[in-house]
Structure 1
Amino acid sequence: MPLAENPGEPLEKSIGEQVRHYRIQLSLTASDLADRTGLSKAMISKVESASASCSLSTLARLADGLGVPVTALFRSLETDREASFTKSGEGAVVVRSGTRRGHEYQVLGQLRGRPNALEPTLVTLTSSSDVFPLFQHTGTEFLYMLEGEMVYSHGPHRYQLLPGDSLLFEGEAPHGPAELVSLPILFLAIADPQPAASKQH
């Protein structure tokens, strides 16, 4: 199997390990691979030692010379990644501060050790209340209306939401249901708590 790499190591090292792995598997010397690809032996050595970055054309030549698809040269990056599967009706029910009876929040998935991961929640409102809690948080939030009708506030603005309607907003402004027009109400809320500025590279 292709050699694995530790997460976070440079892409160049991953490609170099894969090139060397397939070359040895084919019992080729660096000179043999150079002849097959039209690249210099020095270039082959630089790629395998991760001291040179490959252009797309170089990657294509290497893959062709090794008889593998270009994607095979990235295979050592394919480490196990976490996934969260939640069967229908089995999401954890949580109580948010300030909520009342008849307001249910069902968490649809969580990634352990990822405090800034997306937070998908199925919200069910089955009874009215005179006062609705307002929430504030970093990042953004997306709502998708599934059932019922409500007026949702975000800062000074109000939005009438019907099934099929959606709302995307910044979480720093106070937000929450302002009026429950038609019960029961069911909507999907996906919060991304990570501020946009921290995602810039």
Structure 2
Amino acid sequence: MESKIGKLIKALRTGRKKTLKQISEKTELSISFLSQVERGKSSITLESLKKISEALEVSPSYFFSENSVHVKSNVRRGSLGQAKKNDLSFVFEDLSGNLANPSIEPILVTLQPHEDKGVPFAHKGQEFIYVLEGVLTLLLGHEEHELHPGDSIHMESSTPHNWLNRTGKPVRFLCVNAFDKE
């Protein structure tokens, strides 16, 4: 999975005629780290993937899409539990259905037990989170929130934030990102 993501990052970066240095400057990730990710030699966190996605002006779901066919609408039935397992510390299931130029991005995220990596980050737009199971710890600015099943939050994504799982059980939540169309 990481090799596939790395290849997609490189293809998108080179297709847009961007250098590793340019992406490094936008993401504050080192050139050597970005190179290792592109070659499948280093694992990537969701935080880093979001930074790279923003620098390349795509949704993070771009890297998880099964195909690049864009449709006008999509109905998904019985998708719960069908996310693909990977070697990453999270499972990320794109629920958007490959709509062309989406203004929102619904994803189903599963954080593995004790997933407590990364630092808060910010990006454009707004974010809505609804916890399905487990206890999600949300760092939002200088605040920390524990969200339980049925809890939700709607926030400006420009406020530094991060998701953590400090428990011994997986956490599943729906995250909907709304993008600013500039």
Q: What's the TM-score once normalised by structure 1's chain length?
A: 0.47
Contact 2:165/2:171 (8 A) holds in 1: no
Amino acid at match of 2:150: G
Counterpart residue number, 1:156: 142
Q: RMSD of the alignment, in Å?
A: 2.8
Secondary structure class of the residue paired with 1:114: coil
Larger Rg belongs to: 1
Aligned counterparts, 1:20-35, within 5 A: none
Return 5+ residue gaps in structure 2 as ranges. 1-70
Contact 1:94/1:104 (8 A) holds in 2: yes
Call closer, same or farther: CA 1:148–1:181 in 2, change over 3 Å: same
Instruction: Work out which structure has the larger RCO, using CA pairs closer than 8 Å and 6 or more positions apart in sequence.
Output: 2
Q: Indicate whether 1:103 and 2:93 are aligned.
A: no
Amino acid at match of 2:157: G
Tell me how far 1:172 sits from its aligned partner: 0.9
Return 5+ residue gaps in structure 1 as ranges. 1-80
Q: Indicate whether 1:112 and 2:99 are aligned.
A: yes
Match of 2:130 among 135, 144, 150: 144
Tell me how far 1:120 sits from its aligned partner: 0.3
Counterpart residue number, 1:172: 158
Tell me the distance in 2 between the aligned counterparts of 1:141 and 1:87: 24
Tell me the distance in 2 between the aligned counterparts of 1:179 and 1:166: 16
Call closer, same or farther: CA 1:186–1:130 in 2, change over 3 Å: closer
Contact 2:129/2:175 (8 A) holds in 1: yes
Tell me the distance in 2 between the aligned counterparts of 1:192 and 1:131: 24
Aligned pairs, number: 111
Secondary structure class of the residue paired with 2:166: strand
Q: Indicate whether 1:89 and 2:79 are aligned.
A: yes
Q: Indicate whether 1:194 and 2:180 are aligned.
A: yes
Tell me the distance in 1 between the aligned counterparts of 2:167 and 2:85: 24
Tell me the distance in 1 between the aligned counterparts of 2:83 and 2:136: 24
